[in-house]
Amino acid sequence: MVAELTHFIGGKHVKGTSGRFTDAFWPMTGEVASKVPLASKGEVRAAVENAKAAQPAWAATNPQRRARVLMKFLELVHKEYDSLAQLLAKEHGKTVADAKGDIQRGLEVVEYCIGAPQMLKGEFTDGAGPGIDIYSLRQPLGVVAGITPFNFPAMIPLWKAGPALACGNAFILKPSERDAGVPLRIAELFLEAGLPAGIFNVVQGDKEAVDAILDDPDIKAVGFVGSTPIAEYVYTRGCAAGKRVQCFGGAKNHMIIMPDADMDQAVDALMGAGYGSAGERCMAISVAVPVGKATADRLIEKLIPRVESLKVGTSLDPTADFGPLVTKAHLDKVKSYVDTGVQEGAKLLVDGRGFKMQGYENGFYMGGCLFDEVTEDMRIYKEEIFGPVLSVVRAPTYEKALSLTNEHEYGNGTAIFTRDGDAARDFASKVQVGMVGINVPIPVPLAYYTFGGWKRSGFGDLNQHGPDAFRFYTKTKTVTSRWPSGIKDGAEFIMPTMK
C-alpha cells in the first residue's frame, strides 16, 4: 500500500485536506513511493497562524538556550545518521554515501548556528554625545519561510532553518514534493530536541502553496533554491509583497584546464564534479574548458575511458558512482538535451542514453554522456541540463576561457586547474562568478563563509549561511539613549548633531 504523507503543523502531523495529491516515486524502481498532499491557501495559513502564535516566546528565549536546542538536534541526527541517509538515498536516487554528504553539509551550518549568542551581539558606544549612549540590537523578523529543491532534501532545508531558528524566528518549510520524507523527519527531530511546537512547520505543496507563502502578510522573509525562472518569479512576487527575499537559481559551472595543469588531477575532478549525484547539483561542473588544442586533446583522451567506465547503480549499491535521476520526467528532459546537442552538431563521444539497469528496468537510470566541440551558440552550452552530461568547450587562449565564464548568464561556481599561481590569482580576481575554486572543482564554502552565485544564479543582496544568514534573518534596531542628569537644554529645532 502506498503511504500518504502529511504536513507538519503546530508540532503534529496533519493530513492534507485540499483533496489534491501528487505521486512521489522510488527512483531506483520507478514505483510510486507515496502520495504527497498539495496544500491549499488555507492550509498554508494554518501553518502561519501556528508559527505566529509560537514565535514571540521563542524570540524571548535567550540565544544560548536556543543554541542548546540546536545542539540536541545535532545529537539526535547523529544517532540515526545511517537510517536518515538510507531514506534520503531511496527518495532522491543519490547513493547512500552521497546522501550522508548531503546531511553533513546541512549539519555543519547548524553547528555554525550554535554560535548564535556571538553572532547576535549588537554594538555599543558609550558617550557618543553629552550623556548620550548609542547601541544596536539584532531582533528576529517573526515568521519566515524556506522553499527548497529536490536535489538536497536535507542540506538546503537546514541551511535555511538553522539560522532562522537560531535568530528567534518561526520557520515554515515548503520542501520539494519529489522527496518530502526527509524534511518531515527533520521536523520531528527538531521537536524531539526541544523546539517548541509551531516553530518548525512543514507544508507540502506546489505553486498554490508557494504563492500563498509569497502573498501572506505575516511571512516576513522567504528563501528559495531552484531553477532561475522560478527564482526570479519568487523574488519578484515576494519583493512586491514587501518581504525580504533571497533566491538562488540555475548554474552552468565552467572548469578551466590550463596547459600546465596536472591532467590526472583535473580528470579526477571533472569525473566527480560532473557526474556525482547524476549531475543533479547546482554546483556540478557541466562545462570543461581546456586551453589550447594540445590540452584539449589530452583531456579528451583521458576522459573517454573514464566516462565509459562509470558505474551506474542503485542508490543502495556502495560501489556505484551515481544512481538514478529523480523522476521519469527529469530523465526524459536530460535525454532530450543530449538529443539536441547531437542535432546542433556537438560530438557525442560517450552516449549514456541507452543505459538500462538489470533488474531495475523501470528505474530512472542513465549513463554518463560526454560532448566535445561544444560551441557558445548551442542550447546544451547555454542552458542548465542538471544531469550526467559534460560538455567540452575548447578555448584557444586563457583570455577566451575567462571570457566564456564571464559572458555566460549564470555565475554560480567556477574552477581553474593550474600550477601557475599568477594565472590562478588573475582568474580569481577577474572572473564574474560568486564562488571560485583553484584546483578545487566544487568550491562550496564552509558554513562560516557565505554561499551564493552572481548574475542570474542569485537574486537578492544577502547569501546563504555564514554571517549573511544572521543578517538576513534579523532586523537591526538602533537605540540612542540619554538619562536626565540636571541638564536643561530647552527645545531644539535644528537637526541633532554631535558638533
By the 10 Å C-beta count (0-12 exposed, 13-18 middle, 19+ buried), 104 is classed as: middle
Pick from 320, 42, 280, 45: nearest CA to 178: 280
Give the separation between CA 202 and CA 184, rounded to whole angstroms.
7
Give the separation between CA 74 and CA 113, rounded to whole angstroms.
11
Question: What letter does residue 195 receive in the DSSP assignment?
Answer: P
Is residue 282 flagged as an active site residue?
Answer: yes
- CB of 182 closer than 8 Å to CB of 88: yes
Reduced to 3 states (helix: H, G, I; strand: E, B; else coil), residue 484 is coil
Strand order in the sheet with 285-290: 347-350, 369-372, 389-392, 285-290, 253-257, 413-417, 435-438
Cα 181 to Cα 89, 91, 185, distances in angstroms: 11, 8, 6
Q: How far is CA 431 from the centre of its chain?
A: 22
Pick from 151, 205, 142, 144: nearest CA to 174: 205
Question: What letter does residue 277 receive in the DSSP assignment?
Answer: G
Q: Bridge partners of 478?
A: 136
Q: Which residues contact 103 (CB under 8 A, 6 or more apart)?
A: 77, 81, 84, 85, 88, 154, 155
Say if strands 347-350 and 369-372 run parallel, antiparallel, or are unpaired.
antiparallel
Sequence-ordered strand ranges (E) for 266-380: 285-290, 347-350, 369-372
Give the separation between CA 367 and CA 356, rounded to whole angstroms.
8
- CB of 436 closer than 8 Å to CB of 427: yes
The three grid cell numbers given for residue 79, joined into one nine-digit string = 544517532
Residue tagged active-site, from 113, 167, 247, 282: 282
Q: Bridge partners of 172?
A: 145, 201
Q: Which residues contact 48 (CB under 8 A, 6 or more apart)?
A: 143, 172, 216, 218, 219
The three grid cell numbers given for residue 463, joined into one nine-digit string = 547569501
- CB of 407 closer than 8 Å to CB of 431: no
Residue 84 sits at φ, ψ, to 5 deg, of -65, -40
- CB of 257 closer than 8 Å to CB of 234: no
Q: Bridge partners of 37?
A: 21
Give the separation between CA 248 and CA 457, rounded to whole angstroms.
6
Pick from 464, 474, 476: nearest CA to 112: 464
Reduced to 3 states (helix: H, G, I; strand: E, B; else coil), residue 204 is coil
Q: Which residues are catalytic?
A: 282
